């Protein structure tokens, strides 16, 4: 994934994770792209994010390697910017340039820096999503994968759910992204 002049997303589906039928995968691609474009409109700059559908075995390996947690999980978000330059979207200091990432001591780097456009990667275990989706009905897996994609995208935008207030803020942004992804017509900020 590379930085560029427009908002967008990419979707990779690992061989063992092909549980969504091709028409739903095509729809998912469109909706992921629409979510990222809606976030870009809201953030006021072009953004990119990569999404990967994988297996429990692969996400387990990633979880063990990067989070020191020896079990599979439903979704992992790998931000392009971690540490002091992370969190471009959710919490911005009032004196920061609107297109500039903010670190703990203020703006980081020049406004419009090329690397600020790439948010990072969201990895979703289709197997775990499938187990969680049983309660959602016939389109449960589809619904769960969209939900997890919006969750991961919010983490890339700087949201977290460490307390009730942060979780409520993140859930509201997820709901806006999911609504915009499903809507037809010209894209709107979300």
If we measure between CA atoms, which residue out of 30, 55, 42 comes closest to residue 159? 42
Q: Which two tokens stand for residue 162?
A: 């460490």
pLDDT of residue 88: 41
Q: Which two tokens stand for residue 23?
A: 């028409």
Please give the average per-residue pLDDT across 161-174, as a whole number.
96
Question: Quick check: is 148 in a domain?
Answer: yes
Question: Quick check: is 189 in a domain?
Answer: no
CATH number, position 121: 3.40.390.30
Q: Which two tokens stand for residue 139?
A: 């389109």
**The total number of residues written for the chain in this structure:** 190
3-state SS track over 118-160: EEEEEEEEHHHHHHHHHHHCCCHHHHHHHHHHHHHHHHHCCCC
Question: Quick check: is 178 in a domain?
Answer: yes
Question: Quick check: is 145 in a domain?
Answer: yes
Q: Angle CA(178)–CA(168)–CA(92) in degrees, nearest 5?
A: 90
Question: Quick check: is 177 in a domain?
Answer: yes
pLDDT of residue 82: 62
pLDDT-based confidence at residue 6 (cuts at 50, 70, 90) = low
Question: Quick check: is 190 in a domain?
Answer: no
pLDDT of residue 8: 84
Domain with 82, as residue range(s), is: 8-182
Q: Is the pLDDT of residue 127 over 90?
A: yes
pLDDT-based confidence at residue 68 (cuts at 50, 70, 90) = very high
CB 118 within 8 Å of CB 48: yes
Q: What is the mean pLDDT of the chain?
A: 82
Total count of domains within the chain? 1
Question: Quick check: is 187 in a domain?
Answer: no
Q: What is the pLDDT of residues 110-125, one digit of tens each?
A: 344 444 379 999 999 9
Q: What is the pLDDT of residues 34-64, one digit of tens each?
A: 999 999 999 998 999 999 999 999 999 999 9
pLDDT of residue 17: 86
Please give the average per-residue pLDDT across 133-151, as a whole number.
90
Max Cα separation, the chain? 48
Q: Is the pLDDT of residue 84 over 60?
A: no
pLDDT-based confidence at residue 104 (cuts at 50, 70, 90) = very low
Q: What is the pLDDT of residues 8-28, one digit of tens each?
A: 888 999 988 888 889 999 999
If we measure between CA atoms, which residue out of 99, 77, 103 comes closest to residue 159? 77
3-state SS track over 38-77: HHHHHHCCCCEEEEEEECHHHHHHHHHHHHCCCCCCCEEE
Residue 129, burial from CB neighbour count under 10 angstroms (0-12, 13-18, 19+):
buried
Please give the average per-residue pLDDT across 60-89, as a whole number.
82
- How far apart, in whole angstroms, are the C-alpha atoms of residue 49 and residue 53? 13
Please give the average per-residue pLDDT across 53-82, as a whole number.
94
């Amino acid at each position: 994934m590379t930085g560029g002049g427009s908002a967008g997303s990419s979707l990779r589906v690992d061989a063992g994770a092909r549980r969504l039928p091709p028409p739903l995968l095509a729809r998912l691609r469109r909706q992921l792209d629409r979510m990222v474009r809606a976030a870009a409109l809201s953030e006021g700059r072009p953004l990119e994010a990569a999404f990967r559908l994988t297996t429990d075995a692969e996400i387990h390996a990633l979880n063990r390697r990067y989070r020191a947690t020896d079990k599979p999980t439903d979704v992992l978000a790998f931000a392009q910017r971690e540490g002091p330059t992370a969190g471009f979207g959710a919490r911005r200091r009032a004196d920061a340039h609107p297109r500039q990432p903010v670190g703990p001591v203020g703006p980081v780097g020049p406004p419009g820096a090329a690397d600020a456009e790439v948010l990072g990667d969201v990895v979703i275990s289709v197997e775990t999503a499938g187990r969680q989706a049983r309660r959602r009905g016939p389109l449960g897996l589809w619904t769960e994968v969209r939900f997890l994609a919006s969750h991961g995208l919010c983490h890339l935008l700087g949201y977290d759910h460490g307390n009730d207030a942060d979780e409520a803020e993140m859930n509201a942004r997820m709901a806006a992204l999911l609504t915009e992804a499903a809507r037809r017509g010209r894209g709107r900020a979300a």
